[in-house]
Amino acid sequence: MRRLLLVVLLAIPLAFTRAPGKTYQVGRIETRLGEILFVLHDQTPHHKESFLKLASSHYWDSLTFNRVIKNFVAQGGCPDTPEGFSGSPYLLAPEFKPSLRHVYGAVGAGRDDNPGQLSAGCQFYIVANKNGLARLDDHYTVYGQVFKGMDVVEAIVSAPKDSTNKPLEAIPLHIDVVSMKADELKKYGYVPK
């Protein structure tokens, strides 16, 4: 009987005996120009939690990409005014991490020139410079990385705009969060760290 049980156990495929893999939370931005997917980093828990909270409440559904600059960023989420981010629901303390840099496709938190370098809870940007933006490192919090849709980001930053870098034709946001396993992310060429 023991031998039969051993044979049966050995015949069970390993896929059924492994514990389920880690699930990654992925921000999804849908626009009229296409879809952008990015992994939310665990290393920046407060910014990640803020993004999850605002996405689940549909906070961004009436907002747009309001500042688009080729070879710089696509920025959206709340008004970027001379008065600063007075429209933001709250501010977040910075979460600068040496392992999270402003590389192409990095998702970061916008802020005004406040002395504490506090992030606006609602304002985000996506780095659209293929060489990255190292001058922003340790001054703005990076909390995500795009793995699908940089062609969409490039279309966004190439859109015709006015003198304040606001697109002439609005680019509305629909943002939510989906869960993906590591093998799903690898299909897009992204290997979780």
Query: What predicted TM-score, i.e. pTM, was given to this entire model?
Result: 0.86
Q: Which residues pair with 172 in a beta bridge?
A: 64
Domain count, the chain: 1
Report how far Cα 78 is from the mean position of its chain's Cα atoms.
Answer: 15
Does residue 14 fall inside a structural domain? no
Count helices and strands (H / E) in the chain: 5, 10
* pLDDT tens sequence for the chain (193 residues): 445 444 444 444 444 434 458 899 999 999 999 999 999 999 999 999 999 999 999 999 889 999 999 999 999 987 655 544 556 778 999 999 999 999 999 999 998 888 999 998 899 999 999 999 999 999 999 999 999 999 999 999 999 999 999 999 999 999 999 999 999 999 988 887 6
Does residue 3 fall inside a structural domain? no
Does residue 4 fall inside a structural domain? no
Q: Which residue has tokens 């709250």?
A: 90
Token pair belonging to 43: 């290393």
Domain boundaries, position 183 = 21-187
Does residue 7 fall inside a structural domain? no
CATH label of the domain that carries residue 47: 2.40.100.10
